[in-house]
Chain A
Amino acid sequence: NAGVTQTPKFRVLKTGQSMTLLCAQDMNHEYMYWYRQDPGMGLRLIHYSVGEGTTAKGEVPDGYNVSRLKKQNFLLGLESAAPSQTSVYFCASMSKRGAWEQYFGPGTRLTVT
């Protein structure tokens, strides 16, 4: 039981490049989330999904896209990376059936130069 995994762990991009971050969970959770963490700002929600095939915007969605084609996977895409997207990205998942506990992945550190 791996919980929530994220790929890759580190990445360096040049401005304008694109990339996709993969999040996978093996707990059969319905809800999945993408956050970014910046110093002094806590975690801010980028996008979330309440089920396979559905996504919604969070607090800071601009510049990102997401897809949830399979229940266990939640992909975060950057179409044209900008230095302002340098951050640590966390994925989380949660069961809709209670406990209200989000389970977090180990994070992806992204640097855009």
Chain B
Amino acid sequence: AQSVTQPDIHITVSEGASLELRCNYSYGATPYLFWYVQSPGQGLQLLLKYFSGDTLVQGIKGFEAEFKRSQSSFNLRKPSVHWSDAAEYFCAVVPPMGNNAGNMLTFGGGTRLMVKP
């Protein structure tokens, strides 16, 4: 089945440590790829997106993501995590289908990030 998978439900890192959140997709062709962040009690905010071109994408709040076609992955990274990064992170795709009139997003299950002082 076509899907978006975030293998890690919870991740805990120490403040100042590096972070990598995993995202894998299973579609025949490369979809459009997105990372969203949801702070507690808030809606979702777009961190970054990838359509084509340079496989390393820079986003807001110091985040970046790397697209790897061979691994069907789009992992999110940050070199040094701040306590304010504690949130839930969602990978999402616009599937590579012709009939997607609403440009609908399909979301992964999310990864909850906790930051230790």
Partner of B94, one of A41, A50, A100, A106: A100
Please state if B107 and A56 are interface contacts (CB–CB under 8 Å).
no
Q: Which of B65-73, B75-83, B96-104 contacts A (4 or more CB under 8 A)?
A: B96-104
Please state if B44 and A94 are interface contacts (CB–CB under 8 Å).
no
Please state if B9 and A101 are interface contacts (CB–CB under 8 Å).
no
Tell yes or no: A33 within 8 A of B by CB. yes
Please state if B101 and A102 are interface contacts (CB–CB under 8 Å).
no
Partner of B103, one of A42, A100, A105, A107: A100
State the CA gap A42–B38 with chains docked (Å): 11
Query: How many residues from B make CB contacts under 8 Å with A?
Result: 26
Please state if A50 and B101 are interface contacts (CB–CB under 8 Å).
yes
Tell yes or no: B43 within 8 A of A by CB. yes
* A-contacting residues, B13-49, CB 8 Å: 32, 34, 41-46, 49
Binary contact readout A55-83 vs B (1 if CB under 8 angstroms, 0 otherwise): 01010000000000000000000000000
Partner of A40, one of B46, B106, B109: B109
Partner of B105, one of A41, A56, A102, A106: A102
Please state if A42 and B104 are interface contacts (CB–CB under 8 Å).
no
Given contacts A40-B9, A42-B90, contact A106 B102 (CB under 8 A): no
Please state if B45 and A104 are interface contacts (CB–CB under 8 Å).
yes
Chain B CB within 10 A, most for which of A40, A42, A96: A42
Tell yes or no: A24 within 8 A of B by CB. no
State the CA gap A42–B6 with chains docked (Å): 10
Nearest chain B residue, comparing its CB with the CB of A91: B43
Q: A21 to chain B: which residues have CB within 8 Å?
A: none
Binary contact readout B1-18 vs A (1 if CB under 8 angstroms, 0 otherwise): 000101001000000000
- Nearest CB in chain A: distance from B42 CB, A: 6
Partner of A48, one of B102, B107, B110: B102
Nearest 6 CB-CB pairs, A to B? A104-B43, A42-B107, A48-B102, A104-B44, A43-B107, A42-B109
Residues of A within 8 A of B (CB): 4, 31, 33, 40-45, 48-50, 56, 58, 90, 92, 94, 96, 100-102, 104-107
